[in-house]
Amino acid sequence: MVMTRCGNRPAWLAGWLGLLIVLIAAATPAKAACDNESHSGRDYVVCTFDPAVDDIRLFSLDAGGEPYRSFGNVAKAVETQGLDLAFAMNGGMYDDDGRPIGLYVEDGTTLKPASTRKGYGNFHLLPNGVFALGGGKAVVEETRAYLASGFKADFATQSGPMLVIDGKLHPRFLPDSDSFKRRNGVGVNADGKVVLVISRQAVSFYDFALVFRDDLGCDNALFLDGTISSLYAPELGRNDRLFPLGPIIAVVTAAKG
């Protein structure tokens, strides 16, 4: 009997090998979205999502018009839509009632206009910036540049200060600063993916910005908050519940089962 060969292997063997490779690939878990990483001697959680594939959203007010204030409340709300909460992080600065103090867009509707005024606190440490999602893309830009761009956002949140602006660190950051806090922020890397980072220990603005620019390849990155920085990442066993929150950045998936 003459056997058809693929290289030096019988065709039936090549077929079985191909099937085996497919089965092994299917059984191998996908890389977790969030990982513990160390950069320059400090520890961080780094989470990466693709806006073209992942369902990234912002949440501020519930159906009754009240701030969610916690990851648990967001999880309950999306569950009623047949969705699971896969990831969440506090997503911008807010007033005493938990409402955004800067630009906030949800489901294509602007619920709060952008603020470009000077003032006190991190939000007004200009330039501040905007993280926005729309049309399967994500952007992080300085506020005035974002407003001039005409980007059509499905979701957007304004916070401040910017950490990295067009590859340069915020001009007010000092290498020898003695202001150390737990911090979280967001950037967009060269592949267009959203990179969300939370420090596992107190860090300075300068060092935090360096992580985004030099280690994670984000030419633009935005500070989201400090001290209250909170994370929901089931794969890491994280569900922070110490502080009431304002706007929340979340990733949702279809409910299992």
Residue 228 has pLDDT above 50, yes or no: yes
Residue 194 domain flag: yes
4 in a structural domain: no
138 within some domain: yes
Closest CA to 87 of 161, 195, 8: 195
Which residues, other chains included, contact 19 with Cβ-Cβ below 8 Å and sequence gap of 6+?
none
Average of per-residue pLDDT across 101-108? 98
Write the DSSP string, 43-83. Answer: EEEEEEE-TTTSEEEEE-B-TTS-B--SHHHHHHHHHTTTE
The H or E element spanning position 247 is none
Task: State the pLDDT at residue 120.
Answer: 85
- pLDDT value at position 57? 98
Predicted TM-score of the model (pTM): 0.88
Residue 21: band (very low, low, confident or very high) from pLDDT cuts 50, 70, 90: very low
Domain count, the chain: 1
**Mean pLDDT of all residues in 2-9:** 40
In a domain, 1, yes or no: no
- Return the higher-pLDDT residue of 7 and 158: 158
Q: Is residue 28 part of a domain?
A: no
Within a domain: 8: no
For residue 222, the enclosing domain spans 33-254
Instruction: State the average pLDDT over residues 132-156.
Output: 98
- The yes-or-no verdict on residue 4 having pLDDT over 50 is no
Q: Is 12 within the bounds of a domain? A: no
Is 5 part of a structural domain of the chain?
no
| Cis bond before residue 29 (omega within 30° of 0) | no
Whether 123 contacts 102, CB under 8 Å: yes
